[in-house]
Amino acid sequence: MDNYQNKTIWVTGASSGIGEALAREFSQAGGNVILSGRRVDALTRVADTLPNDTLVLPFEVTDYESLEDIVEQAWAWKGRVDVLVNNAGVSQRSLAIETKPQVYADLINIDLVAPIWLTQLQLARMVEAGGAHIVAISSVAGRLGAPLRTAYSAAKHGLIGYMDALRSEVSLQHNIQVTNVLPGSVATAVSINALTADGSKRGRSDAQIDGGDSPADCAAAIVAAVSANVPELIYAQGSELALAKLRQTDPLKLFELTAEFGKTVAEKYEIDSP
């Protein structure tokens, strides 16, 4: 792993899960970490456990009117942002046929428009600073169409597309590198906080997420990928990894398998839903 001594790393969604683990991994590698999220108490708790300098910078990712000031505060802290990790987001657990249109608007705002906006506000600064590294936490659902996640998959597909196009413009011209991360099941609160058909939080987890990889292991793999300037990291195991790879190697087979799986999931969801 590269030494991140005197580097500034900005992690959104840093109060728990993969974001918290990434903040810890970068800090332990010598980095100064900006911790962002909505909950000041949770961010402060994380900051108190890190060995290097931290800045607690809370904000709501869709508060677009405040973002320029937030970016100004972040860059004023150490004079630059060397690594921007767009991690904040929310998932979904609902059938498309039951989901209100506003859920799509809300989720795409949080998972796609917000990280694009935060990135756009820093590109000119990154060019002037001589380069940077942008990390986008997408999902395996950003590579394949996952049942119960139509809005989430749409946003995560879009995030990969934006970052891939951005990389083509800035990696060689401005030394701004881009790494897309596609995690599979990681043991976080992602399912608990997922939006349901009416926009409310689901409030419960599921076995696949609970049995997923540890956030610490995921974070270690992400930091290693950033250090090696890997354009895309699929962090998944078993069938999730196989399905993600099928998108390139045999998309027709992927569509066949996901249709069968989706039918099973939808039938079970209709029975189990409260």
| Structural element, H or E, at residue 8 | strand 8-11
Contact (Cβ atoms closer than 8 angstroms) between residue 132 and residue 84: yes
Q: Is there a domain that residue 12 lies in?
A: yes
Distances (CA, A) of 4 to 10, 228, 242: 13, 13, 33
Contact (Cβ atoms closer than 8 angstroms) between residue 37 and residue 88: yes
Active site residues: 152
Q: How does pLDDT run across 185-205, given as a tens digit for each residue?
A: 999 999 999 999 999 999 999
Q: Domain count of the chain?
A: 1
Nearest to 90 by CA among 64, 74, 108: 108
Nearest to 61 by CA among 137, 102, 118: 118
What pLDDT, on the 0 to 100 scale, is given for residue 261? 87
Helices vs strands, H then E, count in the chain: 10, 7
Q: What is the DSSP-derived secondary structure letter of residue 39?
A: -
User: What does the chain come to in residues?
Assistant: 274
pLDDT under 70 in the chain at which residues?
1-2, 270-274
Q: Is there a domain that residue 257 lies in?
A: no
168: containing domain: 8-240
Tokens of 273: 């839903």
* pTM of the complete model beyond 0.85: yes
Residue type at position 218: C
Q: Is there a domain that residue 254 lies in?
A: no
What pLDDT, on the 0 to 100 scale, is given for residue 273? 55
Q: Is there a domain that residue 49 lies in?
A: yes
Contact (Cβ atoms closer than 8 angstroms) between residue 142 and residue 159: yes
CATH of the domain at 141: 3.40.50.720
Nearest to 81 by CA among 178, 11, 19: 11
Q: Is there a domain that residue 233 lies in?
A: yes
Residue type at position 182: L
Contact (Cβ atoms closer than 8 angstroms) between residue 87 and residue 137: yes
What pLDDT, on the 0 to 100 scale, is given for residue 274? 47
Residue type at position 8: T
Q: Is there a domain that residue 48 lies in?
A: yes
DSSP 130-147: T-EEEEEE--GGGTS--T
